[in-house]
């Protein structure tokens, strides 16, 4: 049947996809507002709001919200990212009206009780402390902070202890009213769902939601790059080496995704085979590419012992250089197969499918058929990937390292060892 999309009179987008042989429904409300939309004095408020949404409304206590969904065997949760916030649930299809009512209630009538707020602030302070004590997590925060320094897009989603403690109920209400409007929201369900019935239920509960928000577009991202190191007494060093990647909308976004798979997307990838299997220099190494609305990040993460740091980074750099010279057809075919399999497998999960549809609607204004994505993959060539690799890895790097990093080469030395390609050699436009 495919994805069906409707728009309510207030501009709210509602979409569904019926999945055969599924007896449950995954649904949620996705808002095009995340940590990047915070003002300087609001660092961490988007994440705090996500927590507080479940702490009571005008008609339900925090316990009633939790118990009502769990009484029918359902689940409810929320998540904050750099550019979006989502509130979602999964229930049996017969309990869909309850799930819609609960999600609508927390979006329209959360009371942000001061006593609950104080308790949740304490919880988030513990979360911040736990993140700091987890080097393989915090290294990514330090990485993005360095890549996009002094910008909301590079800040930790959790906020700081000082900012989290400072927020009041009034600020939460003000932030939500400013950021949340039907023009920036989508409601999506996937699974055992009838589109028209779902639209009617959403109209009952969210048809009166404010049509527009007062949100100001976030400042355009500006990638800087740079170096962050924190010497800690740990067994292993966590290292991330990265470069500015590609935004969702640009031509090379999907090529960047595929290139990350070829370099470090599995046990057969170049980095895994060369660094772990052949040389035994680390227990974890992989490549990643994160896209945002106007920029991206391409990176390599590795974890290794102090004695192997000096050998590890040069090998990573050499593999990046080699990817700008040759990509084998069989490597491209394998990466295409991985990407395609991921699309198929995610389509078999109602939660994954609902999230994917929501993301496409917020980013592109329409659901993108799988056939279209597969067609884009089929048009990639090894020549295009080598050209992309040349352009990516000859730009200003970002390095973040935590642990026993004293033997890690200097930033200038690592930068100088990276590929150097003149602009005249660039063959393809971004």
Collect all residues with Cβ–Cβ distance below 8 Å to 378 and sequence separation of at least 6: 336
Whether 331 has a pLDDT exceeding 70, the answer reads yes
Instruction: Give 277-320 pLDDT, tens digit per residue.
Output: 999 999 899 999 999 999 999 999 999 999 999 999 999 999 99
What is the mean pLDDT of the segment spanning 13-17? 98
Residue 4 CA: distances (Å) to CA of 198, 352, 367, 393: 11, 17, 9, 41
Give the H/E segment covering residue 285: strand 284-291
Can you give the pLDDT at residue 419?
87
Residues shown for the chain = 430
Least confident of 133-142, 209-218, 347-356: 209-218
Collapse the DSSP code of 327 into the 3-class scheme (helix H, G, I; strand E, B; otherwise coil) and give the result: coil
Whether 214 has a pLDDT exceeding 90, the answer reads no
Tell me the pairing of strands 185-191 and 13-18.
parallel
**CATH node for 226-425:** 3.30.830.10
Q: How many CB atoms lie within 10 A of CB 368?
A: 16
DSSP collapsed to 3 states, 220-264:
CCCCCCEEEEEECCCCEEEEEEEEECCCCCCCCHHHHHHHHHHHH
Whether 397 has a pLDDT exceeding 50, the answer reads yes
110's tokens: 């959360």
Q: Cβ(287)–Cβ(347) under 8 Å?
A: no
Can you give the pLDDT at residue 64?
97
Whether 151 has a pLDDT exceeding 90, the answer reads yes
What is the mean pLDDT of the segment spanning 366-382? 93
Residue 21 vs residue 206, higher pLDDT = 206
Q: Is 415 left (phi over 0), alpha (psi -120 to 50) or beta?
A: alpha
Least confident of 94-98, 411-415, 422-426: 422-426
What is the mean pLDDT of the segment spanning 197-214? 95
Domain boundaries, the chain: 3-206, 226-425
Can you give the pLDDT at residue 429?
35
Whether 128 has a pLDDT exceeding 90, the answer reads yes
Can you give the pLDDT at residue 213?
87
Whether 427 has a pLDDT exceeding 50, the answer reads no
Q: What's the DSSP call for residue 117?
A: H
Can you give the pLDDT at residue 251?
87
Give the residue numbers annotated as catalytic, written as ranges: 50
Closest CA to 189 of 14, 372, 378: 14
Q: What pTM, to 2 d.p., does this model score? A: 0.92
Whether 144 has a pLDDT exceeding 60, the answer reads yes
Pick 3-206's CATH classification: 1.10.287.130, 3.40.50.800, 3.30.830.10, 1.10.1200.10: 3.30.830.10
Q: Do domains 3-206 and 226-425 have the same CATH topology?
A: yes
Instruction: Give 45-101 pLDDT, tens digit per residue.
Output: 999 999 999 999 999 999 999 999 999 999 999 999 999 999 999 999 999 999 999
Whether 1 has a pLDDT exceeding 80, the answer reads no
Instruction: Give 219-238 pLDDT, tens digit per residue.
Output: 899 999 999 999 999 999 99
Instruction: Give 160-172 pLDDT, tens digit per residue.
Output: 999 999 999 999 9
Can you give the pLDDT at residue 174?
95
Instruction: Give 99-115 pLDDT, tens digit per residue.
Output: 999 999 999 999 999 99
Whether 4 has a pLDDT exceeding 50, the answer reads yes
Burial class (CB in 10 A: 0-12, 13-18, 19+), 127: middle
Q: Average pLDDT of the chain?
A: 94
Can you give the pLDDT at residue 421?
60
């Amino acid at each position: 049947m495919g994805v069906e999309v409707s728009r309510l009179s207030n501009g709210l987008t509602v979409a569904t996809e019926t999945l055969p042989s599924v007896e449950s429904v995954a649904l949620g409300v996705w808002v095009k507002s995340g940590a990047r939309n915070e003002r300087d004095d609001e660092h961490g408020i988007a994440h705090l709001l996500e927590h507080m949404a479940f702490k009571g409304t005008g008609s339900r206590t925090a316990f009633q919200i939790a118990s009502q969904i769990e009484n029918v065997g359902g689940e409810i949760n929320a998540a904050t990212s750099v550019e979006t916030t989502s509130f979602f649930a999964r229930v049996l299809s017969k309990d869909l009206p309850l799930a819609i009512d609960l999600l609508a209630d927390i979006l329209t009538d959360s009371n942000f009780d001061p006593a609950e707020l104080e308790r949740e602030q304490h919880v988030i302070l513990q979360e911040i402390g736990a993140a700091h004590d987890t080097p393989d997590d915090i290294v990514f925060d330090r990485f993005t902070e360095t890549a996009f320094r002094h910008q909301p897009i590079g800040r930790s989603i959790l906020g700081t202890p000082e900012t989290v403690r400072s927020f009041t109920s009034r600020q939460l209400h003000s932030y939500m009213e400013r950021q949340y409007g039907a023009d920036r929201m989508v409601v999506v369900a996937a699974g055992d769902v009838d589109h028209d019935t779902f639209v009617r239920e959403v109209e009952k509960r969210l048809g009166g939601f404010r049509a527009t928000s007062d949100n100001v577009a976030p400042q355009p991202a500006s990638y800087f790059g740079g170096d962050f190191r924190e010497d800690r007494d740990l067994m292993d060093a966590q290292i991330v080496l990265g470069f500015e990647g590609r935004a969702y909308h640009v031509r090379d976004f999907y090529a960047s995704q595929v290139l990350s798979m070829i370099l470090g997307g599995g046990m057969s990838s170049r980095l895994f085979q060369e660094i772990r299997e052949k040389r035994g220099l680390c227990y974890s190494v992989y490549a990643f590419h994160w896209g945002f609305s106007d920029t991206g990040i391409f990176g390599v993460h590795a974890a290794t012992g102090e004695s192997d740091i000096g050998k590890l980074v040069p090998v990573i750099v050499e593999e990046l250089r080699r990817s700008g010279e040759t990509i084998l057809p069989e490597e491209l075919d394998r990466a295409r197969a991985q990407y395609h399999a991921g699309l198929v497998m995610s389509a078999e999960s109602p939660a994954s499918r609902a999230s994917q549809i929501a993301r496409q609607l917020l980013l592109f204004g329409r659901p993108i058929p799988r056939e279209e994505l597969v067609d884009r993959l089929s048009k990639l060539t090894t020549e295009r990937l080598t050209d992309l690799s040349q352009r990516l890895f000859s730009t200003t790097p970002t390095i973040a390292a935590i642990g026993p990093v004293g033997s890690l080469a200097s930033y200038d030395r690592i930068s100088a060892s990276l590929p150097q390609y003149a602009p005249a050699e660039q063959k393809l436009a971004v």
